[in-house]
Amino acid sequence: MIDIQKIKKQSGIIGNSDEIVQVLEMICQVAPVNISVLISGESGVGKEIVAKAIHKSSKRSNQSLVVVNCGAIPEGIIESELFGHKKGSFTGAGNDKKGYFEEANKGTIFLDEIGETPLDTQVKLLRVLENGEFMRVGEAKTRKTDVRLIAATNKDLHQMVNNGEFRQDLYFRLKTVTVSLPPLRKRTQDISAFVERFSLEFTRSNDLRYRGFAPEAIRLMKRYDWPGNVRELKHFIEKIIVLNKGERISVENVQKELFDSNTINTGKNSALPVIVDKTTNKAEIDLILRQLFMLKQDTELIQKLILNSKVSNRGSESIKDIGEIVKGNISIPEKSMEIIEENGYFINNSAIGDISIKELEKEAIIRTLKYFNNNRRKTARSLGVSERTLYRKIDEYGLEPKIKINN
Ligand SMILES: Nc1ncnc2c1ncn2[C@@H]1O[C@H](COP(=O)(O)OP(=O)(O)OP(=O)(O)O)[C@@H](O)[C@H]1O
Ligand SMILES: [Mg+2]
């Protein structure tokens, strides 16, 4: 029997407000049952942390959790990413490839931003949800997979159904079990707990002095709107600790950074996905995006191989492997979207001793830029650096994209 305390400990979910207790109770109820779950809520409220908590407390916890951000995958390749493809089914499909649904077999798939999936793909999602059946792109054979689906959205799917943008049948299938995460401004009582945990984690991992927040400072923080929710709060705490060099945080410090600063609080949900102009020659754009996306995946995998070869001293063998990959003779497991956390650490054990801060920083920038569709403002905010610093780093690491897609 799982209880709320166990889930909190396992997942790191913070909060004692009635709203978060209700969410935790819901996790306890639904996690052990093999049923799809829809998690809804504004950006930064904790949808992903809840999805992970459900997986960790489920019977599938020993199997993989494949995380897919549907909003980050170009429309033209989303089906091949989700369901795989047959060699030669389109330009660039050099090998047979498994999709995320096959990768997640026996485990859980987390489809983030499900509202971003095209209508055609939604038909296929419904089918795989109903009976586990799907077909790889370019193949006539029906395949089966045993996957539990957790989906998340920061959009109003009901409204999307009314607008003809989301299929009603899929919506009904998904919404049976819905976990709604309230925005932070509706559960401000949890702010003290967040401040305590996030400050300690941050100061410990960065070896910083920490003298706490004045009670009035926390009271003032409870009066702010937090449009970016818990994510914004976390970054704010980290920023204010750094700015005040370990001194006790006063109400004036919070007032200055939170209310007087014109860089925060646009009042809009800034994490909504970028809208791509639908009037442009779509087929051509999709083709370019497909190639770019694959190239990016290959590059990531090759980077990993090089790193592994350094660690395992398989130098020349791995270089040979890379040659074969480039020629398209070897297919490597494509799990670039999968979240791998080993014993609560983000860095793979095998990389320790062979990885520099610069490499980590570069990877964090590349992957965050990719996650936010190259949106630098969101990337900078998410990484907790100023846009100016991000621009400098992009320049320093030579990450300037060669092709820009205008809308
Ligand atoms: N209740 C919570 N306890 C601890 N950490 C939390 C909680 N809620 C959110 N967080 C932290 O806040 C950040 C944002 O959370 P998360 O990524 O789960 O939000 P999200 O709803 O998926 O956002 P988005 O819609 O932008 O993808 C993460 O660092 C997460 O760990
Ligand atoms: Mg998320």
CATH number for the domain harbouring residue 44: 3.40.50.300
Q: What is the pLDDT of residue 309?
A: 62
First to last CA, the chain: 52
Cβ-based neighbour number of residue 133 at 10 Å: 13
Q: Ligand 1, closest atom to CA 51?
A: 18
Confidence of residue 321 (pLDDT cuts 50, 70, 90): low
355 and 244 both lie in a single domain:
no
pTM: 0.68
Q: What is the pLDDT of residue 217?
A: 97
d(CA 112, CA 61): 19
With the most atoms of ligand 1 within 8 angstroms of its CB, the residue from 17, 50, 114, 231 to mutate is: 231
Q: Ligand 1, closest atom to CA 234?
A: 12
Q: Ligand 1, closest atom to CA 20?
A: 1
Give the residue whose CA is nearest to atom 29 of ligand 1: 231
Residue type present at position 169? D
Q: What is the pLDDT of residue 134?
A: 97
Mean pLDDT taken over the chain: 83
Residue 166 predicted with pLDDT over 70: yes
Q: What is the pLDDT of residue 398?
A: 80
Q: Any idea which residue has 């038909």 for tokens?
A: 123
Mean pLDDT within 154-183 = 96
Listed residues 219, 239, 259: the one ending a domain: 259
Mean pLDDT within 354-372 = 83
Nearest 10 degrees: Cα torsion 368, 369, 373, 379? 80
d(CA 169, CA 36): 14
Mean pLDDT within 185-211 = 95
57 and 153 both lie in a single domain:
yes
| Domain count for the chain | 3
Residue 275 predicted with pLDDT over 50: no
Of 6 and 400, the one with more pLDDT: 6
Mean pLDDT within 187-191 = 97
12 and 118 both lie in a single domain:
yes
In a domain, residue 273? The reply is no
63 and 172 both lie in a single domain:
yes
298 and 390 both lie in a single domain:
yes
Give the residue whose CA is nearest to atom 23 of ligand 1: 44
Helix axes 47-56, 18-30, angle to 10 degrees: 40
Give the residue whose CA is nearest to atom 7 of ligand 1: 46
| Domain carrying residue 131 | 4-182
In a domain, residue 228? The reply is yes
Ligand 1 binding pocket (C-beta < 6 A) is 12-15, 41, 43-49, 154, 230-231, 234, 271
d(CA 363, CA 390): 13
Q: What is the pLDDT of residue 272?
A: 35
Q: What is the pLDDT of residue 348?
A: 62
Per-residue pLDDT reduced to its tens digit, 81-123:
999 999 888 777 888 999 999 999 999 999 999 999 999 999 9
Listed residues 135, 161, 182: the one ending a domain: 182
* Percent of the chain surpassing pLDDT 70: 77
Ligand 2 ion: residues within 5 Å (CB): 47-48
Of 366 and 15, the one with more pLDDT: 15
157 and 16 both lie in a single domain:
yes
- Please tell me the least confidently modeled range out of 2-11, 47-56, 289-298: 289-298
- Please tell me the least confidently modeled range out of 266-270, 285-289, 377-381: 266-270
With the most atoms of ligand 1 within 8 angstroms of its CB, the residue from 7, 14, 27, 48 to mutate is: 48
CB 203 within 8 A of CB 242: no
Listed residues 259, 278, 305: the one ending a domain: 259
Residue 267 predicted with pLDDT over 50: no
Q: What is the pLDDT of residue 352?
A: 72
Residue 326 predicted with pLDDT over 60: no
Largest CA distance in the chain: 66
Mean pLDDT within 243-250 = 90
Residue 251 predicted with pLDDT over 90: yes
53 and 106 both lie in a single domain:
yes
In a domain, residue 160? The reply is yes
